[in-house]
Amino acid sequence: MKKLAVLSLLAVLGACSKANAEKPDGAENYVLKCAGCHNPGPGHPGTMLLKQLGRPVPALIGRKDLELDYLKAVVRQGLIEMPPFRPTELSDDEIAEIYAYIKDAKPPAQTPAMPAKEAP
Ligand code: HEC
């Protein structure tokens, strides 16, 4: 009986550590690493600057005109206001997954980066 309890405990622990070890996919990495600056709506510096530059879709999501090589170069080297990402922060595969997500995903609803202050 004790043996069974220990075994089932081990099974539960094993399942937990497996869940934790799972890597975020393209959509999750986009949310973690890019959305703060690139989601649609006011307060997102990436979206605002790309709008000034006249890009067809200022938010990255849903942009079909970007090449993977260009996006990779921007993410690795940064671009004016955008900080670069090291391979330890995002691998080449993870950048490719973000790219695939950006091309196929529907734009999220307009989300202000910071909630509007409530009137006193
Ligand atoms: C700290 C804010 C910030 C973060 C985080 C950020 N970006 Fe940017 N990004 C910008 C800004 C600002 C620009 C516009 C460049 C400029 O004019 O300064 C930009 C430009 C770009 C461009 C160029 C688009 C074009 O039309 O030329 C790509 C591609 C891009 N970002 C992809 C990403 C990806 C992918 C991520 C996540 C891994 C990301 N960015 C994270 C701020 C950010």
Q: What is the pTM of this model?
A: 0.80
How far apart are the CA of 9 and the centre of ligand 1, in A?
45
Q: What is the pLDDT of residues 37-79, one digit of tens each?
A: 999 888 999 999 999 999 988 889 988 889 999 999 999 999 9
Please check whether residue 110 lies inside any domain of the structure. Answer: no
Q: What is the per-residue pLDDT for 6?
A: 65
Domain count, the chain: 1
Q: What is the CATH number of the domain that holds 51?
A: 1.10.760.10
Residue 35 belongs to what domain range? 23-104
First to last CA, the chain: 63
Please check whether residue 14 lies inside any domain of the structure. Answer: no
Q: Which atom of ligand 1 is nearest to the CA of 45?
A: 12
107 and 62 Cβ atoms separated by less than 8 Å: yes
Q: Please work out whether the CB of residue 81 comes within 6 Å of at least one atom of ligand 1.
A: yes
How far apart are the CA of 16 and the centre of ligand 1, in A?
35
Please check whether residue 11 lies inside any domain of the structure. Answer: no
Please check whether residue 79 lies inside any domain of the structure. Answer: yes
